[in-house]
Each structure stands twice: as structure tokens, then as C-alpha cells.
């Protein structure tokens, strides 16, 4: 009987408006007479959410019925950004919503801008996870994301007197995109001890007992695919005290304060995202977060598997779990514990299942980012897991010893336990041993992990266990949503929006690279995007920039290896050059706006100093009458996903200038090129593959190669280290106090002058500046510049996250899409 009442969701403008009004009047309990933009945003979101959840239900039923293999993507970060615009576009009803909102008296852009970013991530790794969810749904893969529902996402950045100030990002006041599942609750245990006992058959068993329990409550976020009804699920766990409101025993015995404290302690687990990017600090609360999230997710996955009543040996045929970096590596140990201690399997039987289930993706080679946990900390928090790790390590080392009986050092090198004081658990090694595939995220990076940090493991497991899956980005958000006019122009020449699902269709654009009319439209769109960014700059910094100037952009987390310091030193060099020019010489120079954006980890002083220097240079340069429009320096506050959507389409050139061998892939490089911007970059990460695809005439590469980095560093330390003469002049200017108190920047200068210049800023400075001069020259020939941009875009098909997800599905997960039936 219920079927005739099943929710359908709107598809016409009239039905959409009816839904919006209904939500304003009933869900929000407001009158349409005082419906402001906040309420309109809420109601429009709820209308779309209703639609999504209907499809979500159907998708889940279809998957349950098909009973095939599912993918679980475990990531501590999902940098989703805004959901409403994305939902409208993926469902294909943005036009309907625009008309409906206009009819109700609202501009759709204003309504979209009401939404708070879901900023549950730091940078590249978190945004990659979000792009993957979009591709998994768009390609109809049965897949779930699992993460943590942080009460506070990445902090908001304010710039006060040139310094970064962190402000908490409390984003959950009103979040229409999540469904609390108060019926999906898992008990998570911490601390306690291990009891050994014999079961009725006399088998030696272990049981983890005592300690404390925290509850994990599920919150589901629907993930709509583009141009398909398939709607997947992102399940985020929130922590809650096990005893409900508070511990009544303590309460009744008069210990009210401590009962509330217990509750707060439980809720602390999912309270805040750790804001470090590429730095491991080994904090106990972080390990608690990891176990809490991993244990809840595995409980859920195992429960779903058990419903199918299959033999345990079929687990890897039904379940593929991807570890997004080492953060979820405890899942390997937890699954082994479940199979061994709770389900009663034998060690070897259990381990065969575990090691076929997991895949591990490495995202960094920076030594300070490789996770290690102290053994005493582990022993206290997760005593049974530590035992299992020791046992995994024992069997692993025994197999290594059998394979390399003559190599006396290898055991110490590959041991999961580092014999330091205190001993440490090496999470990457545990992830490798517990997975059937290990992948890097760009070709160079995948080669580097095989020849450096994981070299011994390639010897042990053979080369086939290690593979590459070059990163990608979703063209739905990063082209269609961020740059609607460009998307429309491309659609008009390639036969509709099909390119958004098969990005190789962009190839069809190449024939327009010399088409006058097409180029004119292309250039107009870029200009309009620059005007939009110039307005944003004006309203946030009060600086006026000329939209005809060359927009040079570097937006990403601030890190010494990404070398924003080299960029700002280059800007100072340019400033000094301009100051030394005659008025005639100045006339020949292409005006430039240098735009920076990005957050520094709160405890990363060097990164904060770089932000300070950029701001101080800006305040000197931007008001120097000698310079005028020739150079402006902008630091954009609080770079995040929704700002990226405005910034990226407005770039002429963007900077991806990491020391060769340090940036695993980079993904914004792909976003910038896809939006018709050229890039200046080093031979690092995915820049190399971008060059191969678009052609070396369409990219500005410079700098030393990864293979030479080690020797150069050695020479800095043991040879004589002479600085680049232009860099010396830049440093002299900083030391004179031209950009404020020189003392504030002494550590930044000192790292290069005195402390070995680890990131080779001086070594690359000359070729960087020379290449920037080539950019100036090239930009003067707008006709050729636009052709380069069009050609580049036409060759970017490879960098779709759809290609990337298909590679994972085929070579790592062994899963097939489950397409909805026609009329479904
Ligand atoms: C334990 C602290 C910590 C936190 C975050 C260590 C490492 C991370 C991330 C792995 C850092 C990260 O986001 N890496 C970036 O991953 C992107 C997606 O693969 C790559 O494109 C970037 O090059 C890489 O820096």
C-alpha cells in the first residue's frame, strides 16, 4: 500500500516553489512574509535534500539487492565545500531552482552564498576525497565514504596587521545536508586490559576488557552523482558519552561536575579537525579519533557483510577498503581483532582476509609527515591492538628473514616497531604489510616511494604490489560549477554537457585554438572571471586591481616545501627591478597582480612568517606611486573551497613551484589548467604528467630536477654555499627594514643563508625569475596566449577524477559499477 505514497521529489519550477514554501512554513515554522535569504537557503536546501534522500534510498536498495562488492573510502578528511550548488547541478535542476527562487524574489547566487563551507579537511588529501565521492556516485559505483563529523572544521583565517589569526569554524548551527541516525550507534572501547583464557575446546583466546566506552553516532550525508539518479552515502561519526546525559551514579553521589566532565571528554573526540597538513605531532587525542572512527566504520561494514550470511572467506569479494594515507591504518588491526577475538577465526585465516581487503594510498614522502605512534601510548589506549601489531610484525619479520637470511640489517629497517626510545609503531609499514596494493598519487611520486622510503618493501613483496594512480579532479565542480560560462561555451562546441562525464571529449576543442570568434569569447569569459575576482579583492582588502593585468596566483596551504617564500622573494626582486627602471622601460612591462592565499598550521612559525612577509610586501608595494598598476601584491584571507571556485577561473598563470620531489601530486595545478590558465612550475608531482599531456610549449617549467636534489643539499652542507646574487639583494632589502622590522624575518632569511637552504630556494631562484620574464613576454602576445590556453584545456581529459576512480576500481578494488535501470 505504501508504494503509492512513496516520495517522488519535484522536477518542475512550480513543484520546487511549492516545496520551498512548504519548508519555510512548516519545517522552519516561518512566514513567507519574513522569509530572508537564510530561510530561503534553508528551504531550498531542504527541498533538494528531500529529492536526494529519495534517490539515496533507491540506490541503497538496489545495492543491497544486487549484493555485489562495495568500496569503502576511509578518510579522516573530506573537504566538501558547499552542497546546494553542487546538488542543483548534479541533479540537473539548477535552471528550475533559479527560476523558482527568482519568482519568490531571490537571486540564486545570493542564496548559494548563504551556505557555510563543509571544511572537514586541511588541503589536497581532503579535497581529493571529496572529488572521489563525486566520481564514485557519478560513475554508479556502490561506494561509501567514512569519516568524522568534526564540530569544528579547519579554522577560519583572519589577517590582522599582516598576521594570521585563527578563528574557530563552528559550522553545525544549521546543516540541512546531514541526517542524524540516532538508531545507528556503536560502542567504542578505550583503555582497559587483555584477559587470556581457554575456550571450551581448549583454544587460547584473548579478550579486551574494562576501560571506558564512548558512543559513535552516525550522521549520513547524501552524495548525488552527476546526471544519474545514483546517490551514495558519506557516513560521518560523532562521539557521545555512553551514559547518556551524564553518569547518574556520579550525579546521585553528588559528583555532578565530574559527570558532566566525562560527557565533555567523550564529545571531545570528534570536536576538532587537527589543522596540521603534512606534520605528525603524535597527540593522544588524534590516535583516539583514529580508533574511534575506524572501529565504528568497521563495525558497520562487518555488520552489513554479516547480513548476507556468506562465509568469512568471501569477505574480500564483497568489501574493498581504501586507506586514505596512514590515518586509518588501525583498521587493519581492528579487522584482525574482530575476526580473531570476536568471530573465532584462526590467525592465518583471518590474516588472509585482512590483507586482501585493504589498499593503501600514500600522499607524501616528507619524513615529518610519516605517522608514528609511541608504544607506551598505544599500550595504554589500545592494549589488545598493540599485541596484534607485535604479532603481525613477528610473522612479517619471520617471512623476511626466510627470504633474506644473509641480510642482517633488513629486519631493523623494515620492522613495524622502531627500536627507539620510546619504541614507535611505524604506521606506513603497518599499512603496507596489511594491504594488497600500495599506490602513490602521480608517476614521479610513485617511483620515488618505490626507490626511497619503501625500497625494502619492494624487495620483499615484489614490484607488483606497488602501483601508481595519478590524481584527478571532478570537472563538475571545478569547471561546470566554478566556471559556468566556460562550461557553456565548451558545451556549445562539443555537442552538449557530455564532456563533463567523458572529459576526453575536450579534445574536440583543439580545432578552435586558432578560431578568431571562439578565442574572442574565450578571452571575454576569462576577463569576466577576473573582474569577479577583482571585486572580491576590492571588497575584502580594499585594494583596487586592474583586471587587464596578468593575474599570477599561488593558493594552497603555506609550507616551506611549496615555496611561497620563493614567490614573494621573486615579487620583491620584481619590485626592485621596477624601482630601478626609467619611465620608458616601465611602459613596456606587463602589469601584474601577485595573488596569494592559504592557511598556515597554527604552530608552524616559519609558515606564519611567510604570510607576514607577503602582507608587509603588499602594504609597501601597493601604495608606492612609482609602481602603480605595474605590481600589486594581494593576500586573500581564508582560502577555502568556495573561494577557490572564484579564484581559480580568474588566473592567467598559477604557481606550482615545490622543490622537485616534494609535492606528491598537487591537484590545483589541474584545476587551474582546466579553467584556461597557464602554469609556472617545477618538474614535480603531476606537473610532469600535465606537461606530457598539454605539451611543453604550453607550460613554464623551471628549476632543478628531483634526481639532483640530494646532491645539492649535500653540497650546501659540506661544500661552500654561495647565494644567488639577486636573492642576496632581496635579502639586503628585507634586512634594511623596507618591509617592516627585519627581525621578524630573520628566521626565514636565515634558513636559506645559514641553515643549508633545505628547499633549494637559492638554487632555483635564477631560473624562476628568468622563467617569470618569459611569462611576461608571452603574455604580451595575447593572441598566442589564448591559443595556448585553449590547446591546454583540450588536452586535460586525463585529469578527470573519473579516470582516476576507474583505475582504482579496476586495478585495486575489483569492483563494477551498478547502473540504475532505465526509468529508475
Ligand atoms: C599526520 C599529519 C598529516 C596530515 C595530512 C600528514 C599528511 C597529511 C596529508 C597526506 C597531506 C596532504 O594533503 N598531501 C597532499 O595530498 C594530495 C592528494 O594526493 C596531493 O595532491 C598533494 O601533493 C599532497 O601534498
671 a catalytic residue: yes
Q: For 348-366, what is the mean pLDDT?
A: 98
In the set 228, 361, 364, 667, the catalytic residue is 667
Q: What does DSSP say about strands 212-224 and 231-241: parallel, antiparallel, or unpaired?
A: antiparallel
pLDDT at 1 over 80: no
Query: Tens digits of per-residue pLDDT, 447-482?
Result: 999 999 999 999 999 999 999 999 999 999 999 999
pLDDT at 250 over 80: no
Q: How far is Cα 753 from Cα 739, in angstroms, rounded to an integer?
A: 18
667 a catalytic residue: yes
* pTM, entire model: 0.98
Query: Tens digits of per-residue pLDDT, 373-391?
Result: 999 999 999 999 999 999 9
pLDDT at 245 over 60: no
Q: For 654-678, what is the mean pLDDT?
A: 98
Cβ of 238 below 6 Å from ligand 1 = no
758: Cβ contacts below 8 Å, ≥ 6 apart: 560, 713, 751
Cβ proximity of 598 and 557 under 8 Å: yes
pLDDT at 446 over 80: yes
Q: For 516-528, what is the mean pLDDT?
A: 98
Q: Compute CA distances 434 → 411, 439, 805, whole Å.
A: 17, 13, 22
Cβ of 277 below 6 Å from ligand 1 = yes
Q: How far is Cα 636 from Cα 553, in angstroms, rounded to an integer?
A: 10
Neighbour order of strands in the sheet with 143-148:
179-190, 212-224, 231-241, 143-148, 70-74, 319-324, 358-361, 437-440, 466-468
Q: How far is Cα 286 from Cα 422, in angstroms, rounded to an integer?
A: 19
408 a catalytic residue: no
The CA R_g of the chain, rounded to the nearest whole Å, is: 28
- The runs of H, that is alpha helices, within 590-724 are 605-621, 641-647, 668-674, 687-694, 706-718
pLDDT at 262 over 70: yes
User: Which grid cell sits at 42?
Assistant: 534553508
Q: What pLDDT score does 3 carry?
A: 78
Q: For 332-336, what is the mean pLDDT?
A: 99
In the chain the domains, ranked by start, together with CATH numbers, are 1-66+87-116 (no CATH), 67-82+117-470 (3.40.50.2000), 478-700+765-799 (3.40.50.2000)
User: Which grid cell sits at 458?
Assistant: 619492494
ipTM tops 0.95:
yes
Cβ of 123 below 6 Å from ligand 1 = yes
Cβ proximity of 589 and 630 under 8 Å: yes
pLDDT at 244 over 60: no
Q: What pLDDT score does 251 carry?
A: 65
Q: What does DSSP say about strands 424-426 and 372-374: parallel, antiparallel, or unpaired?
A: antiparallel
Q: Give residue 259's pLDDT band: very low, low, confident or very high (50, 70, 90).
A: confident
Query: Which numbered atom of ligand 1 lies nearest the CA of 325?
Result: 10
Q: What does DSSP say about strands 78-81 and 118-120: parallel, antiparallel, or unpaired?
A: antiparallel
Q: What pLDDT score does 321 carry?
A: 99
Cβ of 233 below 6 Å from ligand 1 = no
Cβ of 279 below 6 Å from ligand 1 = yes
Distance from the CA of 276 to the center of ligand 1, in angstroms? 10
Query: Tens digits of per-residue pLDDT, 407-428?
Result: 989 999 999 999 999 999 999 9
562 a catalytic residue: yes
Query: Tens digits of per-residue pLDDT, 59-75?
Result: 999 999 999 999 999 99
Query: Tens digits of per-residue pLDDT, 76-116?
Result: 999 999 999 999 999 999 999 999 999 999 999 999 999 99
Q: For 194-210, what is the mean pLDDT?
A: 96
Q: Give residue 246's pLDDT band: very low, low, confident or very high (50, 70, 90).
A: low
Q: What pLDDT score does 721 carry?
A: 83
Distance from the CA of 662 to the center of ligand 1, in angstroms? 11
235 a catalytic residue: no
Q: What pLDDT score does 9 carry?
A: 82
The chain-wide mean pLDDT, for the chain, equals 96
Q: For 329-341, what is the mean pLDDT?
A: 99
Query: Tens digits of per-residue pLDDT, 758-774?
Result: 999 999 999 999 999 99
Query: Tens digits of per-residue pLDDT, 343-355?
Result: 999 999 999 999 9
Bridge partners (DSSP) of residue 78 are 120
Distance from the CA of 369 to the center of ligand 1, in angstroms? 8
Q: What pLDDT score does 247 carry?
A: 61
Q: How far is Cα 24 from Cα 20, in angstroms, rounded to an integer?
A: 6
Q: How far is Cα 93 from Cα 594, in angstroms, rounded to an integer?
A: 37
Amino acid at each position: 500500500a505504501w508504494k503509492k505514497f512513496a516520495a517522488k521529489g519535484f522536477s518542475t519550477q512550480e513543484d520546487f516553489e511549492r516545496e520551498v514554501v512548504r519548508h519555510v512554513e512548516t519545517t522552519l515554522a516561518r512566514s513567507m512574509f519574513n522569509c530572508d535569504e537564510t530561510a530561503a537557503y534553508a528551504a531550498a536546501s531542504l527541498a533538494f535534500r528531500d529529492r536526494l534522500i529519495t534517490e539515496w534510498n533507491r540506490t541503497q536498495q538496489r545495492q543491497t539487492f544486487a549484493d555485489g562488492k562495495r568500496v569503502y573510502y576511509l578518510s579522516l578528511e573530506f573537504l566538501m565545500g558547499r552542497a546546494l550548488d553542487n546538488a542543483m547541478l548534479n541533479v540537473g535542476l539548477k535552471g528550475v531552482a533559479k527560476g523558482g527562487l527568482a519568482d519568490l524574489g531571490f537571486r540564486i547566487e545570493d542564496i548559494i552564498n548563504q551556505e557555510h563551507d563543509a571544511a572537514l579537511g586541511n588541503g589536497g588529501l581532503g579535497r581529493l576525497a571529496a572529488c572521489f565521492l563525486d566520481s564514485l556516485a557519478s560513475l554508479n559505483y556502490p561506494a561509501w565514504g567514512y569519516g568524522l563529523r568534526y564540530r569544528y572544521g579547519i579554522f577560519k583565517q583572519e589577517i590582522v596587521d599582516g598576521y594570521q589569526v585563527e578563528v574557530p569554524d563552528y559550522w553545525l548551527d544549521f546543516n540541512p545536508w546531514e541526517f542524524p541516525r540516532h538508531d545507528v550507534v556503536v560502542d567504542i572501547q578505550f583503555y582497559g586490559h587483555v584477559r587470556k583464557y581457554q575456550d571450551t575446546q581448549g583454544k587460547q583466546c584473548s579478550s579486551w576488557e574494562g576501560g571506558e566506552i564512548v558512543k559513535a553516532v552516525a550522521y549520513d550525508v547524501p552524495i548525488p552523482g552527476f546526471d544519474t539518479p545514483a546517490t551514495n552515502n558519506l557516513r560521518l561519526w560523532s562521539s557521545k558519552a555512553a551514559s547518556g546525559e551524564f553518569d547518574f551514579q556520579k550525579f546521585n553521589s553528588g559528583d555532578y561536575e565530574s559527570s558532566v566532565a566525562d560527557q565533555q571528554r567523550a564529545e571531545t573526540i570528534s570536536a576538532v579537525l587537527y589543522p596540521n597538513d603534512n606534520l605528525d605531532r603524535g597527540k593522544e587525542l588524534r590516535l583516539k579519533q583514529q580508533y574511534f572512527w575506524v572501529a565504528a566504520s568497521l563495525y558497520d561494514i562487518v555488520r552489513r557483510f554479516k547480513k548476507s550470511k556468506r562465509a568469512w572467506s568471501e569477505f574480500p569479494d564483497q568489501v574493498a577498503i581504501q586507506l586514505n594515507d596512514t590515518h586509518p591504518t588501525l583498521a587493519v588491526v581492528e579487522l584482525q581483532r574482530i575476526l580473531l577475538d570476536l568471530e573465532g577465526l584462526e590467525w592465518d585465516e583471518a590474516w588472509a582476509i585482512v590483507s586482501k581487503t585493504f589498499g593503501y594510498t600514500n600522499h607524501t614522502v616528507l619524513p615529518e609527515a610519516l605517522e608514528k605512534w609511541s608504544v607506551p601510548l598505544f599500550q595504554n589506549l589500545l592494549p589488545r591492538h598493540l599485541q596484534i601489531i607485535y604479532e603481525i610484525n613477528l610473522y612479517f619479520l619471520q617471512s623476511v628473514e626466510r627470504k633474506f637470511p644473509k641480510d642482517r640489517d633488513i629486519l631493523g629497517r623494515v620492522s613495524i616497531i622502531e627500536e627507539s626510545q620510546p619504541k614507535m609503531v611505524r604506521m606506513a609499514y603497518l599499512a603496507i604489510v596489511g594491504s594488497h596494493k600500495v599506490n602513490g598519487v602521480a608517476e614521479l611520486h610513485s617511483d620515488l616511494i618505490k626507490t626511497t622510503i619503501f625500497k625494502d618493501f619492494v624487495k620483499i613483496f615484489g614490484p607488483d604490489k606497488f602501483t601508481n594512480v595519478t590524481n584527478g579532479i571532478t570537472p563538475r565542480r571545478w569547471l561546470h560549477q566554478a566556471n559556468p560560462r566556460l562550461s557553456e561555451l565548451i558545451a556549445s562546441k562539443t555537442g552538449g554537457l557530455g564532456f563533463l562525464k567523458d572529459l576526453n571529449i575536450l579534445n574536440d576543442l583543439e580545432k578552435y585554438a586558432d578560431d578568431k570568434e571562439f578565442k574572442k569569447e574565450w578571452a571575454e569569459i576569462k576577463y569576466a572571471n577576473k573582474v569577479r575576482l577583482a571585486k572580491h579583492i576590492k571588497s575584502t582588502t580594499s585594494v583596487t586591481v586592474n583586471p587587464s593585468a596578468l593575474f599570477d596566483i599561488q593558493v594552497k596551504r603555506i609550507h616551506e616545501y611549496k615555496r611561497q617564500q620563493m614567490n614573494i622573494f621573486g615579487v620583491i626582486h620584481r619590485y626592485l627591478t621596477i624601482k630601478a627602471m626609467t619611465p620608458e622601460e616601465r611602459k613596456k612591462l606587463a602589469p601584474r597582480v601577485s595573488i596569494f592565499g592559504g592557511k598556515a598550521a597554527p604552530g608552524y612559525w616559519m609558515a606564519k612568517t611567510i604570510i607576514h612577509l607577503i602582507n608587509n610586501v603588499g602594504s609597501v608595494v601597493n601604495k608606492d606611486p612609482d609602481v602603480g598598476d605595474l605590481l600589486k601584491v594581494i593576500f586573500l584571507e581564508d582560502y577555502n573551497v568556495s573561494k577557490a571556485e572564484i579564484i581559480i577561473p580568474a588566473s592567467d598563470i598559477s604557481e606550482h613551484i615545490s622543490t622537485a620531489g616534494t609535492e606528491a601530486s598537487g591537484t590545483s595545478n589541474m584545476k587551474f589548467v582546466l579553467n584556461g590558465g597557464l602554469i609556472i612550475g617545477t618538474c614535480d608531482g603531476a606537473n610532469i604528467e600535465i606537461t606530457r599531456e598539454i605539451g611543453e610549449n604550453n607550460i613554464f617549467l623551471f628549476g632543478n630536477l628531483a634526481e639532483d636534489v640530494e646532491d645539492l643539499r649535500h653540497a650546501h652542507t659540506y661544500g661552500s654555499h654561495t647565494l644567488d646574487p639577486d636573492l642576496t639583494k632581496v635579502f639586503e632589502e628585507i634586512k634594511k627594514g623596507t618591509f617592516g622590522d627585519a627581525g621578524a624575518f630573520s628566521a626565514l632569511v636565515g634558513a636559506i643563508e645559514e641553515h643549508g637552504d633545505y628547499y633549494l630556494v637559492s638554487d632555483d631562484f635564477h631560473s624562476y625569475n628568468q622563467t617569470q620574464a618569459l611569462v611576461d613576454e608571452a603574455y604580451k602576445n595575447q593572441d598566442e596566449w589564448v591559443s595556448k590556453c585553449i590547446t591546454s584545456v583540450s588536452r586535460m581529459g586525463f585529469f578527470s577524477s573519473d579516470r582516476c576512480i576507474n583505475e582504482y576500481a579496476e586495478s585495486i578494488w575489483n569492483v563494477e559499477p551498478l547502473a540504475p535501470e532505465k526509468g529508475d
